A and B are shown apart, each in its own frame.
Chain A
Amino acid sequence: MYRYDQYDQQIVNERVAQYRDQVRRRLSDELAEAEFRPLRLQNGLYMQIHAYMLRIAVPYGLLSSRQLRMFAHIARKYDRDYGHFTTRQNMQFNWLKLEDTPEILADLASVEMHAIQTSGNCIRNITSDEYAGVAADEVADPRPYAEILRQWSTFHPEFAYLPRKFKIAVSGAKEDRAAIAVHDIGLSVIKNAQGEVGIRVLVGGGLGRTPIIGSVICEFLPWRHVMTYIEAIVRVYNQYGRRDNIYKARIKILVKALGIEEFKRQVEAEWVDLKDGLGTLTNEELNRVSSYFTAPAYEKITDVDPDLASYKSENKAFANWLDQNVKPHRHPGYAIVVLSLKKTGAAPGDASAEQMDAAADLADQFSFGELRITHKQNLVLADVKKSDLITLWKIATANGLASPNIGLLSDMISCPGAEFCTLANARSIPLAKMIAARFDNLDFQHDIGEIELNISGCMNACGHNPVGNIGITGVEKKDHGEWFQVSLGGSKGNNSSIGKIIGPSFSFNQVPEVIDRLLQVYLRERIEAERFIDTVRRIGIKPFKEYVYATEIAGGQEEGISVFKPAPYSVPFYSQRF
């Protein structure tokens, strides 16, 4: 993985010093909260309901065991022994004190990490494919481009106060695993007929209140122009994006208002002056950065491990895990292992300090000391020898990291929700837990097969609800109760689509039954091995809608408000919401 040189380290160290001084000025009231707010946000620090939350950048989701151990250390020393992995491949700590945060950033800088631009109206942490470098369908490794763009966007002087946040995702495989179609800019590294590497550029995708699939602005951009072309896009956006209404300020609204043709014309007019200028990427720099992403020292081994098959036939739990959580690797004898952070009863994406240490140990022992964070809030060990799988599984199981549910119903995405977040209308994590408990039966989950259930506590869609096969969104109603809208038919990947809302919203307690009914329709209507999403696409949402609303669901109207109970935390400053 990429390692800092003296320049990277110096920039991050100077950031720590700058931030330390900003906190000092805030604590002495030299800075008003309104002025401190954008500064702390550009450093990933939010003021949440109970405490400060710090979001730490994990560039394109790639993490060393040493860095993960630092997370465990921070969880123990400054937080409540756990952290939360996010859908943007980052890490969040929820229970921090403002005065501790400079020290935390210094700790992070010591392991080549930071929280730069993890929030605020700037270019955010760049995300990528969790299987980069090991996926069989990869055209080119996206990570060098992601790192080059990380550096380019870090403290970009012109783009720190954009109309709104700006998210870039890069994929380099045939199958898009980075949800590039729902990013402000989505990049796909491709090769043309001559075998030259270039980038297909999407712009104006996004989730939130107005979910939109991105439009192609350039079919094939030679790789050396990647930075100047993006600079042109962001400059047009910075000047013309709406600033009068926060809900209409994302680039997707500008692209939609102008139309992709006119937007492209403006971008290319801007780009003419930049093209082939000093900002153009060089062979030397691409090679330099790429040198950090070469394959590890794989052993030459046979692809088939005889012990695996026999152990699999004897042990159903292992067999389930092997089928669900272990993915094909492009090097013979190796496999990709997904460590599940979706154990029934746990908050999706949460990991305890012990689990983080255990995962770091597993990485050191079995996977060249590296891990990846997935946008589905799990961990990946990308380079595991098949002959190590049995031992790895036993250790992972002992640490609660081996729930065999990757890609299944209980592998839900959930945002932190109203217990933590000031934006949310409703709780997400307790709902995710309730759903996981109701459908805990693994055989049932296997029967349902591949499905994406995504939950967000509000329209901002941190939990990717618009692209969930089933999407659940906390909505605001006049009674200030806790209500959820259910949508159907969303999906990520090459065939991305935005889900459609099935009808009036439901109370917290009704949602599991709604999901049950949706699944019943699927089981009734599916043809052979058809996936849930394919059935929805074939028959439309009408049969689902009819069945869900056919008879009353217990826990309805009158409970919509009364179910709103305080979060089980004792904190000094309690939100008025509860």
Chain B
Amino acid sequence: MIIKNKAIVNDDWAVLRLAENEAPENVTVPAGKVIVPLKVWCAQQEKLQDRDDLGVWFASDERPEALKNDIGKFTVIAVDFPKFGDGRGYSIAYNLRARFGYAGELRAIGDVLRDQMFYMQRVGFDAFAPRSDRNIQDALKGLNDFSEAYQAAVDQKSPLFRRVQRNEKTSADL
């Protein structure tokens, strides 16, 4: 189960993670819907080129530019959060959406917790695989912590001051 478009849905994608003794060049990519590490895609691109049941996931130290030319091939891209304090994934997501125009599913995987999801949703994630030891129903609540935001981001391209009429100083403020 994952959260997608603010609902809990069944998920039939597998995430391939390399074991210590596996190398991106020769790891076997299983058949069926699978999200592979970016490294594996880059190393086995010729072999994997024609598969239409493939997604790619980014490690937090990888660059979204790496997928710049192939971005249209994928309907699922994931970004891994190795630990919740590693915030590089937020900028990866922002760049995939805002700079490279990726419009498919963008999924947060790894150490994904309820209290980060509001921010994740704002930088362009629309799917979340919360950590498996957590209640997914509870996690869903995290998407609604705030009903308004000041700054422009991927979900809301315009900052608050361009969207609404805000108060000027009035005599009541004195």
Contacts and interface: CB of A to CB of B under 8 A. Distances in A.
Interface string A31-55: 0000100110000000000000000
A279 B159 CA distance: 6
Given A155-B149, A292-B173, A278 B162 contact: yes
Contacts of A227: 151, 159
Contact of A157 (B85, B86, B119): B119
Nearest to A154: B150
Nearest to A4: B167
Contacts of A291: 168-169
Interface string A1-22: 0010111001100110010001
B118 A162 contact: no
A78 interface: no
A394 interface: no
Interface string B84-101: 111110110010001100
A477 interface: no
Interface size class of chain B, counting residues whose CB lies under 8 Å from the partner chain: 35 or more
Interface string A340-353: 00000000000000
Contacts of B168: 287-288, 291
Given A158-B90, A158-B123, A238-B88, A7 B160 contact: yes
B153 A11 contact: no
Interface in A323-346: none
B25 interface: no
Contacts of B149: 11, 155, 157
Interface residues of A, number: 44
Nearest to B173: A3
B58 to A, nearest CB: 12
B76 interface: no
A315 to B, nearest CB: 35
A97 interface: no
B148 A238 contact: no
Contact of B84 (A11, A161, A238): A161
A424 B145 CA distance: 36
A69 B147 CA distance: 30
A340 B150 CA distance: 37
Interface string B112-147: 010110111111000000000000000000000111
A282 interface: yes
A14 B166 CA distance: 19
Contacts of B94: 158, 235
B162 A282 contact: yes
Those 10 A-B pairs whose CB atoms lie nearest each other, nearest first = A161-B87, A157-B122, A5-B167, A157-B119, A285-B161, A291-B169, A3-B173, A151-B150, A158-B90, A279-B152
17 contacts: A3-B173, A11-B149, A14-B145, A14-B147, A39-B115, A152-B159, A154-B150, A158-B94, A160-B90, A160-B116, A160-B119, A235-B91, A238-B90, A279-B151, A279-B152, A291-B168, A291-B169
Interface of B: 84-88, 90-91, 94, 98-99, 113, 115-116, 118-123, 145-153, 157-162, 164, 166-169, 173
Given A35-B115, A158-B122, 20 more contacts: A3-B169, A7-B164, A11-B148, A14-B147, A151-B150, A152-B151, A152-B159, A154-B150, A157-B121, A159-B87, A160-B90, A161-B116, A235-B91, A239-B91, A243-B86, A273-B99, A277-B152, A279-B151, A282-B161, A285-B161
Interface of A: 3, 5-7, 10-11, 14-15, 18, 22, 35, 38-39, 121, 151-163, 227, 235, 238-239, 243, 273, 277-279, 282, 284-285, 287-288, 291-292, 294
